[in-house]
Every structure is written in structure tokens, then in C-alpha cells.
Amino acid sequence: MRPFGIVVMALVANSACGRSPMVGTADARYPADSGVVPASDLRDARIAGEAAGVGDDGAAAEGGVVRTGTKSFTQISAGSSYTCGLRADGTASCWGDNGVGQAMPPSGTFTQISAGVDQACGLRADGTVSCWGDDSGGQATAPAGIFTQISGGSYYACGLRADGTASCWGANSYGQSAPPVGAFIQISAGGIHTCGLRADGGVVCWGANAFGEGTPPAGTFIQISAGTYYTCGLRANGTVSCWGDNSYGQSTPPAGTFAQVSTSYSHTCGLRADGTVSCWGDNSAGQSTPPAGTFIQISAGGSNTCGLQPDGTVSCWGFNYDGESTPAAGTFTQISAGGFHTCGLWSDGAAFCWGDNSAGPSTPTFGAFTQISAGKSHTCGLRTDGTASCWGDNSFGQSTPPAGTFTQISAGESHTCGLRTDGSVSCWGNNFSGQSAPAANTFTKISAGESHTCGLRTDGSVSCWGDNSFGQSTPPAGAFTQISAGDAHTCGLRTDGTATCWGDNSDWQTTSAAGTFTQISAGEYHTCGLRADGFANCWGELVTPDP
């Protein structure tokens, strides 16, 4: 059901100092107006719809998540349903939920970043603080002045001034934004409590304490991180001690030593000296199973994302309703994630698919292929002789390609389009919105979305046809080098490498990240772009990885 463009990704899960919490189910120990937002208010309502396997239009709900890898970021900080990372060049990249702009950091460089519930703050090189995202309680309006460290909490944030004193802004229902006098060397804002590390290694906490989160154990620490209802600290010998809520095991760290620790709502992650990450606590969405490794290609499907690693193996994450996120063993040269199934090409060109096969999209025809494209419930492949072969759902004729040869093929929700050797386009399948009635012209690339299709002309301009209810088929003027059609939005890369998107922006999927890219891929409610350094930014509605 989705186009299924290609993006390379590689990221790292290095924990952040002064972590901010993810928030979750409210507890009777705190009233509903405590300032701690239940997860249901943030994501559960949407995820419940996705878990049922349908989106607003009855199509398979979709999402992808930026994959973490090794040594790509110098710091990360996870918020409620999004994450931000600080790159080696000082720029910030965020991914995940972007409903209030929390995953859209401003341009420029930072020395530290901290994600709160729905707001994030970054510390500039000159010591000033810039915040973005939800500002309903003033949590994204940082005070003037110079800071040395910042930490975002649940609807509030705190920072350390140059003299070591603490300043907090935003919610203060439990006194979490009213720090005590005296100097600190580090501060960490939690759900509705805050902890500060003194120069002598002692910890002082203020705000809520119903779970004991504000009562640190004896001894000294070199780093602290306050979660929603618990706190963890790193001792001088590298061991971790946690106190407060332990309902998910988030306050029971594993043995061994760490270089950094980062708390959240119900899980904790620690950075080992060798750069690997260990997590503990809640793992319902795979948040305690950090993925490893880099990727050379990814493909976002209806409800999952799969990535091709440099060694040819495939790793998938996201929902796994029908096994679409359980890839086959072995090596592949290309992958494509569809509605509820995923397909890959072996090195000999043979196609192999896994996941939903109720309509036969996971039973490829025999023979070798040079390209494969998975749609919602059908799949098409381009053979070595240029002919197209499709399998799976054919209720609209989307799996019955015309005769002749093609140089590229793209499977949409219930239609398919192919690029001929002469640059013309042929489409077949559902044409209710005109998505299978291409413009009469020559193209160099095509991309089939849900109910619209776009093509890149020889002069770099874009032409789209089909459904235009959200403006997804009305491209802006100018030249592009690549296009990708999503559910009800489209994105393209300009000749200068910047991304431009148009159409539905209900989940910020057309609010592209700043900077330049070498590749772009539009999903159902999200978009990912590949940077020149091989790393990626994603924006819009994203789904956390499954283990």
C-alpha cells in the first residue's frame, strides 16, 4: 500500500546526561492534574488504531522509526514519543512523534540536547538555550542568560547557570521547578521531580516523592538521570544505582560498568565503555532492545520498516502482525516493505517474501529480478529482460502488467506503474482517482502512492496525477532529482539536496528537516531522508521498534 522508497540509515543510541522522562499511565499517588501526562493522551489512541491494522482510510496503518546503530551520535535524549540526537558536527536531529513540533529542532549547532515530554531544549555554544515543541505551560520558553547544562522534564525544564545555581521553567505543581539554593554540577528533570548533583557527589532532589524518587541513596555519584517516577545515578566506579518506582524493572540495573545512564518513563538505558548500549525495564515496544549496526537501504511498509545491512542481512522493526518484521535468514541485495509483507532479492536475483500472504503477495513467481516493489497486498518485480511480473491481490488488475519492457516499477496501494525504456509511463490497476492515467510525457523516475502517482521529468520538474484531496498531486515549481509518493503526501529532493514535501501534513510528514539529503522516502504518515554522511532524518508519525 505504500510506495516504498529507499533510504539508508545508521544511528547510535548513546544515552544523554540529564535525561528527561517519557510519561505513561497515571498513578493514584498523583492526581490527574499533576502535570504527568498519561501515555494514552500522547500515543495510545493512535497506536490502538494501528494495532487493529487499519488507518483512517481503512488502509494498513504505517510507520517507521529511525534505526539506531553504532557511533553516529555523540548524545541522544528520548522524549515521550520522540527522540533527539546530537551529531558530531553539533547539529540536532529528532525523530518520532512531531505533533507539536517537538521533532523539528531549529538550525544551528548545540553542545547538549535534552528532550522533555513534548518539548526539547538545546544548549548553544554561547551558553544560551533554544527550545522547541509544546509551549502550553511555558516549558519551551527558556529564560535569558548563560547556562552550562539543561534538562527537559514533564512540561517543564531546568538548567544550570554559569555560577552553578539552578533555574527551572514551566509546570510547578509539585515544586519540581523550585530548586533549592546552592550550586550544582549537573541537573536532571524528571516527571514531577528534579534532582541535582552537588560538587561533592551528593544528590539533592525536589518535587514529588510518592515512589521514593526524590530520596536518593547514600554515597556519591558522578551523573544522575531522573525518570518519571524514579531516578538513576552513575557511581564513580561505573556501577548504576536506581531508586523509586520499579514496576517494570526500570530501577534494577544489570551488572557491570557504564559510562552514562539515561532514564525514561519505564525503561532505562546505559552506555558501556565500549560504546554498546544495555537497557532494562519495560520492553513492550522494543524500547529496551536497542538495535545494532548500520544499514545501506531501508524500506518503510504499511506498519513496519526493514533495513538492509552492509553484510546483506535484513533487520526489521515495527509491528509484526503477520510476520512482516521477521525477515528470512540469508543475504539480500534489495528489500521492499509493503502493507503487511516484505520482499527481498537474493544475490542471484530470486525474490523471497515474508509476512501476510492472504492474497498471495508473499508468494513470488520464479526467476530472477533486478528490482522489486511491494504494494499493500500485491508485489511486482522487474525481470532481467525488463518485463514486469506481479503476484498477489489482483482485484483491480494491479497484478496484471501490460506487455513490453520497463526500466523501473513502483507498486502503490491498488495500482502499479512502470517506466518504459522510452521514458513513457504505463499504469495498471485501480484508477478511481486517476492514479493509473499518467500524463503524456517522458519521465526518468516514477513513484506510486496510495491513490496518486508522481513522475520526474527529464528537465527535473515533477508531474503528478490522481487523488489531490490534500494537494499531494500539486507539486511546487522547480527542479528535483528524486521523488517519493506517500499515502497522501509527496516529497522530492531539489538539485541542491534540500527536501521539499507537499500534501497532507496532519502528522508533520511534509515538514521536512533542514539540510541536504541524497535520498528521500515517503511512507504513509512519515518521511525519511538520507544525509550525505550516510545517516538519516525521519519526520512525521513514527512507530517504535519491536524486539
**Contact criterion met (CB below 8 Å) for 531 and 537:** yes
Strand, coil or helix: what is 334?
strand
Choose the final residue of a domain: 234, 251, 281: 281
Q: Which residues of the chain have pLDDT under 70?
A: 1-73, 76, 78, 80-81, 275-277, 285-307, 317-319, 533-537, 541-547
Q: Are residues 308 and 270 in the same domain?
A: no
**Contact criterion met (CB below 8 Å) for 74 and 87:** yes
- In which domain, by residue range, is 375 found? 297-540
Q: Is residue 291 part of a domain?
A: no
**Contact criterion met (CB below 8 Å) for 491 and 524:** no
Choose the final residue of a domain: 238, 255, 281: 281
Q: Are residues 389 and 256 in the same domain?
A: no
Q: Are residues 312 and 212 in the same domain?
A: no
Q: Is residue 5 part of a domain?
A: no
Q: Is residue 191 part of a domain?
A: yes
Neighbours of 300 (CB within 10 A): 35
Q: Are residues 229 and 308 in the same domain?
A: no
Q: Are residues 442 and 514 in the same domain?
A: yes
Q: From CA 196, how far away is CA 95, in angstroms rounded?
A: 28
Q: From CA 226, how far away is CA 36, in angstroms rounded?
A: 14
Q: Is residue 92 part of a domain?
A: yes
Nearest residue to 436 (alpha-carbon basis) of 451, 421, 446, 419: 451
What is each CA distance from 224 to 75, 234, 262, 275, 408, in whole angstroms?
15, 6, 8, 19, 53
CA angle 107, 109, 115 (to 5 degrees): 80
Strand, coil or helix: what is 266?
coil
* pLDDT value, residue 513: 81
User: Which residue is listed with cell 517504535?
Assistant: 544
Beta bridge partners of 483: 492
Q: Is residue 231 part of a domain?
A: yes
Q: Are residues 226 and 135 in the same domain?
A: yes
Strand, coil or helix: what is 201?
coil
* pLDDT value, residue 82: 76
Q: Are residues 178 and 244 in the same domain?
A: yes
Q: Is residue 343 part of a domain?
A: yes
Nearest residue to 524 (alpha-carbon basis) of 48, 56, 98, 80: 56
The tally of domains found in the chain comes to 2
Q: Is residue 47 part of a domain?
A: yes
Q: Are residues 258 and 344 in the same domain?
A: no
Q: Are residues 410 and 324 in the same domain?
A: yes
Q: Are residues 517 and 403 in the same domain?
A: yes
Q: Are residues 382 and 354 in the same domain?
A: yes
Q: Which amino acid is at 515?
A: G
Q: From CA 529, how far away is CA 298, in angstroms rounded?
A: 11
Q: Which three cell numbers stand for residue 265?
A: 518513563
CATH classification at residue 128: 2.130.10.30
Choose the final residue of a domain: 281, 305, 333: 281
* pLDDT value, residue 352: 93
DSSP 535: -
* pLDDT value, residue 286: 58
Q: Are residues 411 and 536 in the same domain?
A: yes
- 340's CB contacts (< 8 A; 6+ apart) are 53, 60, 301, 302, 303, 321, 322, 324, 355, 356, 377
Q: Is residue 119 part of a domain?
A: yes
DSSP of 18-75 = T------S--TTS-TTSSPPPHIIIIIHHHHHHHTT--TTSSPP----PPPBSSSEEE
